Structure 1
Amino acid sequence: MTTGIARAEDLSLLTGPAEITRVAGVGTAVSDTSYSQTELLEILGIEDPKIRSIFLNSAIDRRFLTLPPEGPGGARAPEPQGDLLDKHKKIAVDMGCRALEACLKSAGATLSDLRHLCCVTSTGFLTPGLSALIIRELGIDPHCGRSDIVGMGCNAGLNALSVLAGWSAAHPGELGVLVCSEACSAAYALDGTMRTAVVNSLFGDGSAALAVLSGDGRVPGPRVLKFASYLITDAIDAMRYDWDRDQDRFSFFLDPQIPYVVGAHAEIVIDRLLSGTGLRRGDIGHWLVHSGGKKVIDAIVINLGLSRYDVRHTTGVLRDYGNLSSGSFLFSYERLAEEGVTRPGDYGVLMTMGPGSSIETALVQW
């Protein structure tokens, strides 16, 4: 697959359709139960005014979550790590299967057409991986190629798309699907601390799938032209998911400064993405940014000079689902596809942010 563009005038003639991966379909799924932020405050018995303020000022209306069962008196007790791993396996497989089936329907394909399945998750560890479990669950041909991207966090959807686009370019005419399935309920620590309050106010369960195909110019979705990455090494610990010895489980940590760190470096990676293409930011008609949180979105908007209209789907997904980790940007892509406003020749930028701290981007063209 061509990953760079030599001249602006060549943008519409990139090497030929056999070498360019196109998006063929998209599908999403969520877990069974949703809650408003106010409902969660009451269910979890949160009375600290600072923590309540975090929940209520998150720009999130509802999220899909699978909470711990009620204990004596109706309280929700923290779950041991083993139970959380079981929860992740059950929810991630179920959502992943449903998102995959919805995606194939969107692409006009069936399970028998699938030739490579690339799965992403960071909310639990599975061996064999999510791809193997989904193949077994749905009865997919066991000869289907597969890959798993594990532990890369909220940015991982674009890391995986880069891998799958490379596979697709090398296998023209064969269908590949990316599945991001994040059971964020399985990564919660209910300990009442400010560290976990930020996480508990933000994330929700969700899965998204994207079908790709090369060598067929009839595919209506955008062509995937180029990727660019940036690892902010000075902030390597600002977003992390590691073992909490006090709680005897994994726990996610978000540095309060991370929105500003990510925002301050956004221009660097976007400039690299557009370098050599002859494009400027103003030439990008569609921005699909990870719904990382209100402050993160605001920082991206300010530093890249975007409008609120540019990130309408990003903020809409945050409002309706919370932060869905690696699949958030695909929920936004699905909304853009349903909106029907894209036109042939339009350019779009996909952008995700995650642990590391890192920023991933892709340039696409309809």
Structure 2
Amino acid sequence: MTLSPELLDLPAPHAQAVAPPRHTRIAGVGTAVTPESYTQREVLDLFRITDPKIRSVFLNSAITRRHLTLPPVDADGNRVAEPQGELLAKHTRLAVDMALRAIQSSVDDAGVGLDDIEYLCCVTSTGFLTPGLSALIIRAAGMDPGCHRVDVVGMGCNAGLNALNGTAAWARGNPGRLAVMVCAEACSAAYTFDSTMRTAVVNSLFGDGAAAVALRAGDHTQAAGPRVLGFASHIITDAIGAMRYDWDTDQNRFSFFLDPDIPYVVGAHAERVVDRLLSGAGLPRSAVRHWLIHSGGKKVIDAVRVNLGLTRHDVRHTTGVLADYGNLSSGSFLFSYERLLREQVAEPGDHGVLMTMGPGSTIETALVQW
């Protein structure tokens, strides 16, 4: 007796195997912020900061306004320092709310719904939760509890591209199925109060925000957004402690640390990783029309721009996001991506480079093509 290929679940003798899609496409993007925003001068005045050196750090940051959720005031009108437990509760509340709105916006942009999401990757570095954001978001949104999920926690400002790499790979391995990555950073839940310049730099820089992208692979996505062609990464191991978020014994809470020299360290290594990214596609740097770089701060942006030979126009969205929102940590580059789409200048065949920088010290890059 001979069994047919159908009964054995094997391909027929002359059937041609269907090759999996080579690339994932970005089908939609969405962003969200917290309700209140403040100019740098308003923040200084609300906290009654008069030290001229600290005021100079805030007012010369190239940041005009940031979305922040400030602590309550006491009977004398002074802002009360929130203990670590209250900060974690704030992180949960803000991150879930922003993430839900960013995810909804991204699936709306892709022309699909929350019920279509089969893989959810959640990124955050401004709070620690168990269970993670993914479980809280799936419950709050009423999504399918069978949705595949992963949480990327503690990787810092570069984490958006680390997570995009894995999310794009899942979509590529599951053609036609929708994957969503969301970065939710409640930076208002990650601060300290003291009179040091270390704290002043950090407190002058970060803002609250979330950004999400919807990804799909397969023939039906050919009319959607850019293809994700590849990734390249570089860890500057000699500067592994130059950017960190760790426990401050004096403050009895977690706090950020940024080495003053980190902009120049990142800038000096930017060419290496970008050229490796482009060499994999056989492209010269001049072939890249769109640059979407993490809004890490004025000095970081300038250092990367100079070392890569970019113009101010090339980084207009990066500097624009910094001015309007501050450093949004892992989701900053997606705010720039959204602005580029609104310009409607990207044409079929255009190449773009996405770049993030963060603890490690790490530079992450991705190559996309419209």
Q: TM-score under structure 1 normalisation?
A: 0.95
Q: 1:276 to 1:90 in 2, by over 3 A?
A: closer
Q: Secondary structure of 2:122's match?
A: strand
Cα distance per residue 1:107-152 (max 9 Å; x no partner): 0010111110000000000111101100000100101110110000
Counterpart of 1:261 (choices 256, 260, 265) is 265
Aligned to 1:6: none
Q: Do residues 196 (structure 1) and 199 (structure 2) align?
A: yes
Q: Do residues 356 (structure 1) and 365 (structure 2) align?
A: no
* Whole-angstrom distance in 2 between the partners of 1:40 and 1:273: 40
Aligned to 2:298: 294
Aligned to 1:314: 318
In our comparison, the structure showing a higher alpha carbon Rg is: 2
Structure 1 portions without partners, runs of 5+: 1-14
Cα distance per residue 1:188-242 (max 9 Å; x no partner): 1122221111010000000000000001343420000010000000000100000
Aligned to 2:6: none
The structural deviation recorded for 1:276 is 3.5
Q: Do residues 107 (structure 1) and 116 (structure 2) align?
A: no
Q: Secondary structure of 1:105's match?
A: helix
The structural deviation recorded for 1:331 is 0.3
- Taking only aligned residues, the RMSD between alpha carbons, in angstroms, comes to 1.1
* Whole-angstrom distance in 2 between the partners of 1:16 and 1:208: 32
Aligned to 1:18: 21
Aligned to 1:209: 212
Counterpart of 1:277 (choices 277, 281, 290) is 281
* Whole-angstrom distance in 2 between the partners of 1:79 and 1:103: 33
Letter in 2 for 1:325: S
Number of residues paired by the alignment? Answer: 352
Superposed, 1:27-176 pairs within 5 Å as 27-176=30-179
Counterpart of 2:254 (choices 237, 241, 250) is 250
Cα distance per residue 1:75-131 (max 9 Å; x no partner): 112110000000000000000000000111000010111110000000000111101
Contact 1:19 1:172 survives alignment (8 Å): no
Structure 2 portions without partners, runs of 5+: 1-17
Counterpart of 2:345 (choices 341, 350, 354) is 341
Contact 1:274 1:280 survives alignment (8 Å): yes
The structural deviation recorded for 1:72 is 2.1
Letter in 2 for 1:268: R
Contact 2:40 2:64 survives alignment (8 Å): yes
Q: 1:284 to 1:164 in 2, by over 3 A?
A: same
Contact 2:242 2:361 survives alignment (8 Å): yes
The structural deviation recorded for 1:47 is 1.1
The structural deviation recorded for 1:293 is 0.2
Contact 1:115 1:145 survives alignment (8 Å): yes
The structural deviation recorded for 1:273 is 0.5
Cα distance per residue 1:3-26 (max 9 Å; x no partner): xxxxxxxxxxxx988231000000
Superposed, 1:219-258 pairs within 5 Å as 219-258=223-262
